[in-house]
Amino acid sequence: MKKLLLILLAACPVWAQVAKKQLTEADYSLWHTLEQEQLSEDGNWVSYSFTYASGKDTLFVKHTQKAKAYTFAGGTDGRFAANNHFVYRDGNGAVVVVNLKTGTSIKHPNIGNYKLALHTGLLVMHENFGTAAGDLLVVTMGGKVLKRIPRTTLFLVSPVGDQVVCDYDGQLLLLDLNHLDHPILIESKPQQYHSAVWQSNGASVAYLTNGPDAYVGYYQLAEKKHFIFDKKQFVDFPKDGELYNASVTELSISDDGQRVFFGVKPKQVAVDNGGVQVWNTADKLPFPRKLAINGWKDRAKLAVWLPLQQQFRMLTTVTFPYQELLPGQQLALVYDPMTHEPQFDYDAPIDFYLQDVVTGSQRLVLAKQSPDRTKMGVSTQGDYIAYFKDKDWWIYDIKRDTHRNLTGLLGHSFVDHSYDRSGDERVWSVAGWTANDDAVLVYDAYDIWSLKTDGSSAVRLTRGKEEGIVFRLVPQKDYKTIGTPTDKVVDLTKGIVLKAVTPDKSGYFSWNSKSGAQPIVFEPNRISGFKRTNTGVSIFIREHYHLSPQLIVKQPSGKFKVIGQSNEQQKYYAWGFSKRFSYENSKVQPLRGALFYPAGYDATKSYPMVVHIYEHLSQYYNQYVNPTLQNEDGFNISNLTTQGYFVLLPDIAYEEGKPGVSAVDCVTAAINEVLAHESVDKKRIGLIGHSFGGYETSFIVTQTNLFAAAISGAGFNDFISSYLSVGLNNKKQDTWRYEFNQLRMGVPLFDNFERYLQNSPVTFAPKVNTPFLLWTGTDDSAIDYRQSLEFHLALRRLGKPNILLLYEGGGHGLTKAEHQADITRRMSQWWDYYLKGAPKPDWFTPDTF
């Protein structure tokens, strides 16, 4: 406490100079979140919003260099448009266009969906929103209506932004935004339209109608040719099949315009089992999962139609129900995830087949490949498949039908050694592909590697390991103000943007082959939300636990400017600060923890402390946290620090087969490190966790009396009953959690029954002496609420004090506002009673009959 404390206090002298107000629950509504950062293409304007729990949000637009700004109370969905215009929705839902030069604005009320046609500088809007059919308007930024099409239900602007397809009284029209007086009638027979889609270059459009006689249409703009898919013409169209548009079978057009893809789903027939469920241990899946899948008969399948040749075939079937179209849409990866069932991990290994979408010919390209998609990636041109197997990155050359090991001679590990769960090892994944599929970029623990697809070289692009910096690629679509068709290609010749993180700093770097990685912003704060224009102007968010998020603009000259500061009211209230510290567990493994100091901290006083646990949490030491009652698990760092508590977030390292013991070891080690250096009262320490953290909390209080009180939310408490259960959400046997994942048993229950018993909290229920609160939701589909109920009933039978809060209709995290406020308030009362000696809340009192 001592030297580090003096440094921290010196960095924030205002805390010691001005008397601050005590934050109360009544003040929480003042806090807001900084969101929706936008940057105009020329870099002259930036927009952002403050969003409040009450819904009374404010949208701001500011000049990045001049003292010129606009404030729009209730404004949302802000977007920069052509010629220094800004478009947003006001509090009444109207679309407002603001001329940023003059400050004048034009309001368009009663607008539903709208689009900016950037290349023409026009707005396309659907008026009379909420009616069965409204008017489609094409409007200038100055408010002039260039075209009005009545009775429209659907419209779609082309990728280039110069064409619009829409319906009119059931007919389908094509509008050229540069020649609005000459609309083209695509479909004259009145229909109800479900959806439409453009070819990637805007050369054609496809659409899907509604109703029992629904069909797919396809129109080529240049050729002015219209094609209709009639399922009656194709004898191989599935019997009782219906056209169906969903996320797994979206209507789409191939890049070359030759193929149209759409979904087909059979009419669902109720399965009558006579009231008897037949569970067979030889089944590929447990009965509930088998029932949900129904042999893939109910799953929508993808079809391909060649309008010019009038050919049709089903791309996916019951045999191969899953697919992934490769770039170019001439080939697809198809597979059946059930091939290698039964097994007891979450997913089975997969046999991937490469299929010609037109002919249907197939070949097996990857056998028993991991279902973990971080271990696999398809190149941007569709010529290669990268995959991780046998501790190396491989490439499959689709044209040559050959496999090549790209990293076997490097002697370098691309495995994520920080991943300590049971089961298959994790890797750091594919980062991207260079132009012409020349190289695949992959990550290791710190750096980015460029692996030539022909196997000629493997080059490490960054030097993060030497500096202790983790570099990760930022895709263009995430930081560019205007997207480009080459967003998926990593152009190393033009340089790239990297996210950079160390234990104490974060930021962004620019990289090119000559200079390597050079910092754009890199500092001991949490830096996020980076965006940059082609002119070199950039914005980002800066925050720390004691620093509410700021929006920063950086000019090409290197000058930084705070353009937006959230929660300025914080300066009037006592607030805490944080630090990250190091410690070791009993195995001398180095670990980190995050410690948050109470508001108005006085080193001469002794404070209570709440310890929040999961797996690794110390990385949140520099994240700002709004005080609020709306917490899905009831835990809120700022609520606690402003109420006079230390808050500790320790990291935990695990030994397989000993998740509970590992948690006890690491958590107590972190607490002992804090007690040795900080003014924490060792008799007033509380422990809290949710989900896996709830399990750890339950287990820890059976092993130690270190804590004055504890709270466990929605956790596992009985490893035996949980292992022998079926998940409510995925309908899979929960063995995977224990043998291959977070619960880290590593072996089946019957191979080491004692291991399961020794890590199960309910086994040691007689040892619980800590005042203990349990909570869960009756609709928790991740961890059955009966897991918490079991522990409560065990403690009841043992005559030990315990309260269980069971939220009716609540999920794994509480989403109802009233539930969130209730659990947050009850937790506060729990801590205040046991850690501060406050009066006993009424709800602690048992019933009296």
CATH code for the domain in which residue 782 is found: 3.40.50.1820
In a domain, 221, yes or no: no
Residue 485 is predicted with a pLDDT of: 44
pTM, full prediction: 0.93
Q: What order do you get walking across the sheet with 560-565 strand by strand?
A: 526-532, 538-544, 547-554, 560-565
Amino acid identity at 118: L
Domain that holds residue 728: 580-839
Residue 14 is predicted with a pLDDT of: 41
Residue 481 is predicted with a pLDDT of: 64
Residue of 638, 622, 642, 619 whose CA lies nearest to 630: 638
The answer to whether 56 and 609 have CB atoms below 8 angstroms apart is: no
Residue 130 is predicted with a pLDDT of: 65
**Overall number of domains in the chain:** 1
Q: CA-to-CA distance for 592 and 584, rounded, in angstroms?
A: 8
Please list the rounded mean pLDDT of every run of 10 residues in the chain (849 residues): 35 54 96 92 95 92 95 94 92 94 94 85 86 87 94 93 93 94 91 94 95 92 95 89 87 97 87 88 93 89 96 95 95 96 95 97 97 95 96 96 96 94 94 96 97 96 97 84 63 94 96 95 96 93 98 95 97 97 97 98 97 97 98 98 98 97 98 97 98 98 98 97 95 96 97 97 98 97 96 97 97 97 98 97 90
Question: Which region holds residue 521: left if phi is over 0, alpha if psi is between -120 and 50, else beta?
Answer: beta
Contacts of 317 (CB under 8 A, 6+ apart): 301
Angstrom CA distances, 292 to 180, 280, 317, 323, stand at 50, 16, 17, 19
Q: CA-to-CA distance for 49 and 32, rounded, in angstroms?
A: 9
Quote the distance between the C-alpha of residue 524 and its chain's center: 25
In a domain, 626, yes or no: yes
In a domain, 756, yes or no: yes
Angstrom CA distances, 341 to 689, 727, 741, stand at 35, 17, 18
Helices (H) and strands (E) in the chain, counts: 13, 54
Neighbours of 726 (CB within 10 A): 15
Coil, strand, or helix at residue 21?
Answer: strand
Contacts of 560 (CB under 8 A, 6+ apart): 521, 552, 553, 554
The answer to whether 621 and 545 have CB atoms below 8 angstroms apart is: yes
In a domain, 612, yes or no: yes
Q: CA-to-CA distance for 463 and 12, rounded, in angstroms?
A: 34
In a domain, 847, yes or no: no
In a domain, 607, yes or no: yes
Contacts of 602 (CB under 8 A, 6+ apart): none
In a domain, 107, yes or no: no
Q: Find the helix packing angle between 659-677 and 692-700, rounded to 10°.
A: 80
In a domain, 472, yes or no: no
Residue of 81, 119, 75, 121 whose CA lies nearest to 99: 81
Residue 128 is predicted with a pLDDT of: 81
